[in-house]
């Protein structure tokens, strides 16, 4: 188990950080969050062609770069830091990982190269209106019809579901329950019978959609009835990735709060010279560093740099619970340190505050993950 990044990984991080600082300043974040699609196709192309980040954890035989989750986590931490508005988490973390875990060889060869090349934006539709993050929440039915399948039901809280070219859908055989009868399917974004609506989100930097399926033709992905295990694995990996994205945002907030405290004068001194500010800042540093350590550890576990899947599950949940508490708390402190101006629309803090809030809940809140973690705890 490694507890440090290699020189190459550190260099990769600094290239990304420079790119994102240049391409995703808060003026751009504010512009894109007001749009329906929520991303800039030109930046998406550059991310793919100049930095190759769509391909990062996809194996080389499927057109990828063949790196692992540690490198993917670096990308996410930097994107979380800059609040990049792009369908990256949906396409690369959720959909591509689901295809990798669930697809057969031919499907992976067909579906992954266009994602790795930045040509296909994809989404994973597994949650429904009950808001459950586990397999048991899926009620959408897949009915076999002359050699294919037909999907009926509603998916909700689908990240970038309204813009994706390709949608990976979780559905079940009629009459099945729990983990049984669950299968993955793929559907084109413009498939007949699918109604897509963007949901009004608290966090406009990350778009959610509701997808209504009425007799939508779909192709089976992987084995029929075999989606539960690859979904669980995909979620563990995605949760580890989300934790890394969150600590990137938390660190950005921590630094902004410190910068502001160093500048703001009250009572003839910078507020940074008051012990109450110094202690709060020290506590914020501790919170963020602890959450980073757990997020890094979970990313390494997602690469199998530990004792197997059960370990990954517990570690991913631990990292997500820690990152969620830290991100939210850091956002609250950052607004407080800014005082009145921190509550205004013009101040940028609320952009991260809202990302912290949506990330706290997305893929399961801290209480959910703490329970999951104990169920899977090995040591």
Partner 1 sequence: MTEVNEAEVLKEVRTWLEANWDPNQGLVEWRNKLADSGWGMPAWPKEWYGRGLPDGMVSAIEEEFQKIGAIGVARAGIRMLAAATLLEHGSQMHREKFLRRILTGEDTWCQLFSEPGSGSDLAGAVTRADLKNGKWIINGQKVWTTSAHHAQWGLLLARTDWDLPKHKGLSYFVLDMTQDAVEVQPLKQMNGHASFNQVFFTDAVIDPEFQVEGLGDGWKIATTTLMHERRGADGLRRWAMGTDRPERAYVEEREELAHAMAPYKWYPQRMGRVDLAIERAKATGKYADPVVRQEIAKLLTMAKSAEWTARRARAAAVLGRNQGPEGSIGKLAASHVARLGNHVHTMITGADAMLTGSDSPMDGVIAEILVSTPAISIAGGTDEIQRNIISERVLGMPKEPRNDTDRPFRDVPRNMIR
Measured from the CB atom, the residue of 86 and 294 that comes closer to partner 1 is 294
Backbone angles phi, psi at 168, to 5 degrees: -95, 120
Task: State the minimum distance, in angstroms, from the CB of residue 127 to partner 1.
Answer: 23
Task: State the minimum distance, in angstroms, from the CB of residue 370 to partner 1.
Answer: 3
Task: State the minimum distance, in angstroms, from the CB of residue 352 to partner 1.
Answer: 19
**Furthest-apart CA pair in the chain: how many Å?**
79
Burial (CB count within 10 angstroms: exposed 0-12, middle 13-18, buried 19+), residue 193: middle
**Binding region for partner 1 (CB under 8 A):** 2-4, 258, 261-262, 269-270, 272-275, 277-279, 281-283, 285-286, 289-294, 296-297, 318, 321-322, 367, 370-371, 373-374, 377
In this structure, what token pair is assigned to residue 206?
A: 């990350």
Measured from the CB atom, the residue of 27 and 275 that comes closer to partner 1 is 275
Measured from the CB atom, the residue of 15 and 286 that comes closer to partner 1 is 286
Task: State the minimum distance, in angstroms, from the CB of residue 277 to partner 1.
Answer: 7
Task: State the minimum distance, in angstroms, from the CB of residue 280 to partner 1.
Answer: 9
Please say whether the dihedral angle defined by the alpha carbons of residues 167, 173, 175 and 180, taken in this order, is positive or negative: negative
Measured from the CB atom, the residue of 130 and 375 that comes closer to partner 1 is 375
Among candidate residues 292, 289, 295, 291, the one with its CA nearest the CA of residue 315:
295
Measured from the CB atom, the residue of 159 and 299 that comes closer to partner 1 is 299
Helices (H), the chain: 7-23, 26-33, 41-49, 69-82, 88, 97-102, 105-116, 228-263, 275-302, 309-338, 349-361, 366-375
Measured from the CB atom, the residue of 169 and 272 that comes closer to partner 1 is 272
Among candidate residues 327, 318, 336, the one with its CA nearest the CA of residue 357:
327
Measured from the CB atom, the residue of 249 and 366 that comes closer to partner 1 is 366
Measured from the CB atom, the residue of 58 and 294 that comes closer to partner 1 is 294
Task: State the minimum distance, in angstroms, from the CB of residue 71 to partner 1.
Answer: 18
Backbone angles phi, psi at 233, to 5 degrees: -65, -45
- Asked if residue 184 lies in contact with residue 230, where contact means CB atoms within 8 angstroms, the answer is yes
Among candidate residues 125, 91, 73, the one with its CA nearest the CA of residue 312:
73
Task: State the minimum distance, in angstroms, from the CB of residue 312 to partner 1.
Answer: 14
The residue count for the chain:
379
Measured from the CB atom, the residue of 35 and 262 that comes closer to partner 1 is 262
Burial (CB count within 10 angstroms: exposed 0-12, middle 13-18, buried 19+), residue 130: exposed
Task: Measure the CA–CA gap between 375 and 371, rounded to whole angstroms.
Answer: 6
| Residue whose tokens read 């973690």 | 373
Task: State the minimum distance, in angstroms, from the CB of residue 314 to partner 1.
Answer: 9
Task: State the minimum distance, in angstroms, from the CB of residue 74 to partner 1.
Answer: 15
Task: State the minimum distance, in angstroms, from the CB of residue 3 to partner 1.
Answer: 4
Among candidate residues 107, 93, 229, the one with its CA nearest the CA of residue 170:
229
In this structure, what token pair is assigned to residue 190?
A: 């413009």
Q: How is residue 92 annotated by DSSP?
A: I
Task: Measure the CA–CA gap between 320 and 366, rounded to whole angstroms.
Answer: 7
């Amino acid at each position: 188990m490694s507890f440090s990044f290699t020189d190459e990984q550190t260099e990769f991080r600094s290239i990304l950080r420079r790119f994102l600082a240049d391409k995703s300043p808060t003026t751009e974040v504010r512009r894109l969050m007001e749009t329906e699609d929520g991303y800039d196709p030109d930046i998406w192309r550059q991310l793919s062609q100049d930095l190759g980040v769509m391909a990062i954890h996809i194996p080389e035989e499927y057109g990828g770069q063949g790196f692992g989750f540690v490198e993917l986590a670096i990308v996410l931490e930097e994107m979380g830091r800059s609040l990049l508005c792009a369908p990256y988490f949906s396409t690369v973390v959720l959909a591509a990982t689901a295809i990798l875990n669930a697809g057969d060889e031919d499907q992976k060869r067909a579906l992954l190269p266009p994602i790795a090349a930045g040509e296909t934006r994809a989404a994973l539709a597994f949650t429904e209106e009950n808001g459950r993050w586990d397999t048991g929440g899926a009620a959408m039915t897949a009915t076999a019809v002359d050699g294919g399948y037909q999907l009926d039901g509603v998916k909700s809280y689908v990240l970038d579901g309204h813009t994706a070219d390709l949608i990976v859908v979780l559905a079940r055989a009629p009459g099945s329950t729990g983990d049984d009868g669950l299968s993955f399917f793929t559907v084109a974004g413009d498939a007949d019978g699918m109604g897509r609506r963007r949901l009004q989100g608290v966090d406009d930097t990350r778009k959610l959609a509701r997808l209504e399926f009425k007799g939508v033709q779909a192709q089976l992905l992987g084995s029929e009835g075999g989606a539960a295990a690859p979904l669980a694995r995909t979620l563990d990996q995605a949760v580890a990735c989300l934790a890394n994205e969150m600590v990137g945002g938390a660190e950005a907030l921590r630094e902004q709060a410190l910068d502001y405290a160093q500048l703001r004068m009250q009572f003839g001194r910078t507020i940074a010279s008051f012990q109450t500010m110094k202690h709060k800042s020290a506590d914020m540093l501790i919170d963020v560093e602890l959450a980073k350590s757990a997020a890094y550890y979970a990313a390494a576990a997602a690469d199998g740099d530990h004792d197997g899947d059960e370990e990954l599950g517990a570690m991913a949940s631990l990292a997500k619970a820690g990152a969620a508490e830290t991100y939210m708390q850091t956002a609250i402190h950052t607004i407080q340190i800014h005082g009145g101006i921190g509550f205004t629309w013009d101040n940028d803090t609320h952009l991260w505050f809202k990302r912290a809030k949506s990330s706290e809940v997305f893929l399961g809140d801290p209480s959910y993950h703490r329970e999951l973690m104990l169920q899977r705890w090995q040591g």
